[in-house]
A and B are shown apart, each in its own frame.
Chain A
Amino acid sequence: MSAAADGVDAPSGAPGIALSNLTKVFATDRNEIVAVEDVSVATERGAFTSLVGPSGCGKSTILRMLADLDTPTAGGVSLLGRSPADLRRLGKLGIVFQDAALLPWRDVRANIELAVQVTGVSVPRGAVDDMIALVGLKGFEGARPAELSGGMRQRVAIARALITEPEVLLLDEPFGALDEITRRRLNLELLHIWAARRTTTLLVTHSIEEAAFLSDMVLVMSPRPGRIVAEVPIRFPRPRGRGLLRTPDFHAVTAHLSDLLAGGEAHDGEP
């Protein structure tokens, strides 16, 4: 890989997201499905990591365990050296799903404030207004979700995740339901917002381009049972801009990731 590496975004060295021999088995009435099998990964604090893989490879299952929404069958997960449950109790987690999951009866401002009310985290005066401006929703403070487009709703969901200044940000296909144009724009904006605080982030996505554009590290997963087949460091300098998408280096990285994903499928017995 010929991507330029420089010292600007040097990793911190402190522990970020750690999975150790993580296994998750779902038991149904008839049989057991191994969703994640013996996955071990360690990222560093402040790193943006992406998890890519085909549908049903266990990406979201890993994210759910990191969000304390699910518990491992075997092995362990930790965030910044602590358990997800600890971090959750401290109100230090932020999460965004593909479904914006807004309260339909609250306007934009109140939906963002919900996170403050629920976590009990205190935010400085004017922080909500700043956040609204940051995600580009100035002028829509009083709008209800029904009056917003899909992209705008997702901006609200991101603002709700960021307003409490979480230590770890978990993104599960946050732009998966949006059109390609909106998706690219939101990725660019997300990158700007993220760069300001360098929150430890895990993004689950189908999109190789999205993963390569945003991440310090891309983890490629194989389908069932979910395993990590490659850890690909992405060393493009930050700040990254739209121009990066057109560089040969970027194409080389996405091609490499595509090959790894295809290899994962071949490995599974698909032609």
Chain B
Amino acid sequence: MSITSVDTDLDNLTLTLIADFDAPIDRVWELWSDPRKLERWWGPPSYPATFEKHDLTPGGEAMYLMTGPDGDTSRGTWRVTAVDPPTSLEFTDAFADADGTPLADMPSPRVTVQLTERDGGTRMEMRSKFDSREDMEKLVDMGMVEGLRQAVGQMDGLLTG
């Protein structure tokens, strides 16, 4: 109902998503600007996010911690490059180490969010763009690595146990 269109552009390494919400623009903006609201949707239910820092000003940072079902944690950080409440936000979303320092060799897509009032509701256009194809592939490889590591680890346990 909310998602109006999704476009994945392999050549430009971009995902563009348009969603229409039946809510005023200020309430949609709040989902981004209020960290307590943001953490209720940013991470999937199995990996909820906790925002420990949330400074939506140009040059500001947000830091979040995601906790998995087995208690495994992972950190991410936003570097805010532009913000204009309640209509636009731009940031890079990066993996971070325990101190919240972005991991330089990991992919960090640039995310652009535009909100506009439309037909009594709010349209959100979100664009996420990778720097390079290598970055995108690295991300998938990481998942593959982790998946294989888990699978092989389980095998090792079964076979030696």
Judge: A and B partners, yes or no.
no
List residues of chain B with CB under 8 Å of any chain A CB. none
Question: Residues of A at under 8 Å CB distance from B?
Answer: none
